Structure 1
């Protein structure tokens, strides 16, 4: 998400015993991990990798048939629920329980900043997962944990993480080890997906004049090649520690002069389908990143009519078809962001899914109802859109299989 990012040496080593919490939905042969390992065990009674940071599956689609079979058992309303990642204040995360149960949400974004203990956060996340038991699919639990000024979790249990600019000063082995260290802390409390790393390249000629990224040192470099190498390292380390990675903000926010969260008119007149600045995204995709987040800026050379989040040429044409990414596509915030304020609330989710996105993100808990209603209505009125809902729900479930949040069979 378009937000904000200090340098420290290697963090102190620590060990986390990760327990698997098994929740079984009535009549469903599924299980999900409330706050445990990153991969499903073959026998839930003897969880493989217990007490370790088991990596997520390296494959973007460990079992397409399995995901499709799970989605086929869901009602339209349940499929729509899987397409939503809705924010809840991290200070009061259980505010989301009612919405999770009512709309059978696919994901929860922990919004804001917190210095709460790991134990208290883990307990809250377990309660959120328990609220999702009806669907038999675990929740993707997301945070913005990049480092620098974008670090949702801080305090004694979550030491300061360097900004990306300072992470990029570390050698590859140190960057990999440090990333695994802080991601392990997320894994231990039940976070399943980090909305990081930033893959945007901020040219030196732009620098701090780029408010969403350069203004807060969120970029790994001013040129594509070194940024691409660091992004791949972070993705590999993050997912090796058991938390899904998210490349953002496709196709790049490094050249804009406006922050999409707080203003309209963010525009990149340079980026093309063959732009070298796409290299950190292609590198992260090659490293197996589970997800890509789409920006809310406009890219006239790619689509002069729509912001990226609502652009089929960008999401489907460029990301899916040209770059070959078939993983989870998330929106940047479509709830409170000024960039989309002129678009009717429900249509924000509909237009994102129609463009080829999979999981619409809002930082506002109150958006769950209007978005659900708009998506269900659109699907009931248009068979082609209903097929898009099913396609995206299948990708969401594939990502959940990677994260150990679902399982096929008994």
Structure 2
């Protein structure tokens, strides 16, 4: 029942900033503070307790949702499989040998897809590969500019985030609505966008993962926050789930975590940093997914990649910022930043940190990841409970898309 500014103020732990009406740089910042401890929202929506009013009928127990029913019928291994999403590369055969029979949670498109029949065939193969398991979530990285997996006949061309940030929120909303329409037409559910990272103005193009590729909306937190909200709302207007990335931000590192394990430490960002404002604004706008990065954040949890850090995921994202949706990783299959960590350990550490699902661009490790999650769930009651909670989040998102029928 609260207004958007009030919700945003809760997320940021400070008064709402009134200037978020354009993407033009403005004064002020919005860093999360201790005032925002605890979830900022709940599944209950503030409905109050179940006590009956005088003279009313006795309360009845609501029937389980489709997601709850599906979860209750799953084995531990089936739950584990829901937490693994595998990349399918354009121009290559669907990785049936690596994924068939696992009942994976989803797939995402990699490379450049320019022909509609190829996408349609892959969507059909993905659905067939999971067998009797719930239909898979289907995602793609469609940001605009250079970062567009869908090209040619499969999607309309849209400007880069940098260009959109200069134009303003209305342009951002229109572009992301267009992106969402194209994804929906192809049977896809999730856009692995928008980028919520604020590029350090002192780095600019020397920021390899974002600035050099024009993936960021700008260099000022308030500006980027307004554009992130606009992107989330544009996708939401056509029913596509938005993904805020790369939490807690890649705008202050020099190298790309996909290609390097060096130069991927952010020594500046703190848990109260203004650069977190775009993530808070995206959450307030209704983003359903947050992607964690594999960079290191020396002021939050030194020496630990964000996706493996309880301080980043449980304390900051879940606790301080109140995010209750699905937390996924950046690629853990091929990324150089985590290449030295054994595959099974990657999955276990993600879950121990409080994450929900893992993405791998390497389909050949899918089975190993499912094995690792299943084994981890058997280490304690707490681990088993977290697995069920994480699988439940995946299934609730699937329920929204009608994938549990």
Q: TM-score, normalised by structure 2?
A: 0.81
Distance in 2 separating the partners of 1:178 and 1:215 = 21
Alignment match of 1:404 (pick from 398, 402, 405) = 402
User: What does residue 108 of structure 2 align with?
Assistant: 109
Q: Indicate the SS of the match to 1:70.
A: helix
Alignment match of 2:256 (pick from 241, 254, 259) = 259
User: What does residue 354 of structure 1 align with?
Assistant: 352
Q: Give yes or no for the alignment of 1:240 onto 2:218.
A: no
1:132-191 deviations in Å (ceiling 9; x for gaps): 3401x2211111111111110101342322110001122433332232122201111111
Distance in 2 separating the partners of 1:128 and 1:64 = 31
Q: Indicate the SS of the match to 2:349.
A: helix
RMSD of aligned Cα (Å): 1.9
* Rg larger for: 2
User: What does residue 88 of structure 1 align with?
Assistant: 88
Report the CA distance shift for 1:383/1:74 in structure 2 as closer, same or farther (over 3 A).
same
Q: TM-score, normalised by structure 1?
A: 0.80
Distance in 2 separating the partners of 1:401 and 1:392 = 14
Distance in 2 separating the partners of 1:100 and 1:106 = 11
Q: Give yes or no for the alignment of 1:152 onto 2:149.
A: yes
Q: Indicate the SS of the match to 1:168.
A: helix
Q: Indicate the SS of the match to 2:304.
A: strand
Alignment match of 1:290 (pick from 265, 288, 291) = 288
Alignment match of 1:369 (pick from 342, 367, 392) = 367
1:254-284 deviations in Å (ceiling 9; x for gaps): 0001211111131111111110010110000
Q: Indicate the SS of the match to 2:347.
A: helix
User: What does residue 325 of structure 1 align with?
Assistant: 323
Distance in 2 separating the partners of 1:374 and 1:156 = 39
Report the CA distance shift for 1:109/1:93 in structure 2 as closer, same or farther (over 3 A).
farther
User: What does residue 267 of structure 2 align with?
Assistant: 269
Report the CA distance shift for 1:355/1:146 in structure 2 as closer, same or farther (over 3 A).
same
Q: Give yes or no for the alignment of 1:69 onto 2:69.
A: yes
User: Which runs of 5 or more structure 1 residues have no equivalent in the other structure?
Assistant: 1-58
Asked if 2 retains the 8 angstrom alpha-carbon contact of 1:255 and 1:268, the reply is yes
Report the CA distance shift for 1:61/1:237 in structure 2 as closer, same or farther (over 3 A).
farther
Q: Indicate the SS of the match to 1:245.
A: strand
User: What does residue 315 of structure 1 align with?
Assistant: 313
Q: Indicate the SS of the match to 1:169.
A: helix
User: What does residue 128 of structure 2 align with?
Assistant: 130
Which deviates further from its counterpart, 204-213 or 64-73?
A: 64-73
Shift of 1:369: 1.2
1:371-409 deviations in Å (ceiling 9; x for gaps): 1111112222333222211111011112212233225xx
Distance in 2 separating the partners of 1:267 and 1:402 = 37
For this pair of structures, how many residues does the alignment match?
346
User: What does residue 303 of structure 1 align with?
Assistant: 301
Alignment match of 2:183 (pick from 176, 180, 186) = 186
Asked if 1 retains the 8 angstrom alpha-carbon contact of 2:113 and 2:119, the reply is no
Distance in 1 separating the partners of 2:98 and 2:189 = 19
Asked if 2 retains the 8 angstrom alpha-carbon contact of 1:204 and 1:222, the reply is yes
Q: Indicate the SS of the match to 1:274.
A: coil
Report the CA distance shift for 1:60/1:332 in structure 2 as closer, same or farther (over 3 A).
farther
